[in-house]
Amino acid sequence: MSRRSAAELADPTAGPQTGCLAASATPRPRSRTRDAGSAVVDFVLIGALTTLLFAAVVQLVLVLHVRSTLVDCAAEGARYGALADSTPAAGAQRTRELITSALAVGFAEDVRAEATVVDGLPVVRVEVTAPLPLVGLLGPSGVITVDGHALAEVP
């Protein structure tokens, strides 16, 4: 009976080692050769998914920014139109100017202003209908509708 080393006793499939060549001559496990190149595929798939998710978040932030800007411009136009020496039409014009300077001309195309009464108080209401930016600032028109109110001053 031959004497076996501790490494051979731990691994019963290993044969007697005769120098450096015996260890390198053992074939690689088949599973390693099947996985060759999978890291590249994983990187591309995860990278594409991460990029798509990032673009969706940026687009959502842009939509919220546009809506917030439109609300602010409508409220400012209503306050301007509610001044004692102003008219609702002047408030609508002021709203168009603010939207054009903050966003783009296409967002200021549908602006309406009216004098109305809410709970017995005279109020100027400015309503803005604008496109929903789905890809950058491009999107279908007339989807976002916001309004601003201001208590009308009495001269």
Model pLDDT for residues 80-103, shown as the tens digit of each residue: 999 999 999 999 999 999 999 999
127, part of any domain:
yes
**Number of compact structural domains in the chain:** 1
So what's the pLDDT on residue 38? 82
Cα separation of 23 and 30, whole Å? Answer: 17
80 lies in some domain: yes
Report if residue 59 sits inside a domain.
yes
Question: Alpha-carbon distance 148 to 71, whole Å?
Answer: 7
Position 138 in a domain? yes
Q: What is the pLDDT of residue 46?
A: 95
> Looking at the domain assignment, is residue 134 inside a domain?
yes
Domain assignment present for residue 84? The answer is yes
- Which amino acid appears at position 37 of this protein? G
Sheet of strand 110-118, all strands in order from the earlier edge strand to the far edge? 110-118, 121-130, 144-151
pLDDT (0 to 100) of residue 36: 73
Q: Walk along the chain (155 residues) and give the pLDDT tens digit of each residue.
A: 556 565 555 555 655 555 555 555 666 555 566 777 788 889 999 999 999 999 999 999 999 999 999 999 999 999 999 999 999 999 999 999 999 999 999 999 999 999 999 999 999 999 999 999 988 888 887 799 999 999 999 87
pLDDT of 35 reads 73
pTM, full prediction: 0.72
CA–centroid distance for 143 within its chain: 18
What sign results for the dihedral spanned by CA atoms 13, 18, 24, 27?
negative
Structural domain including 147 reads: 37-151
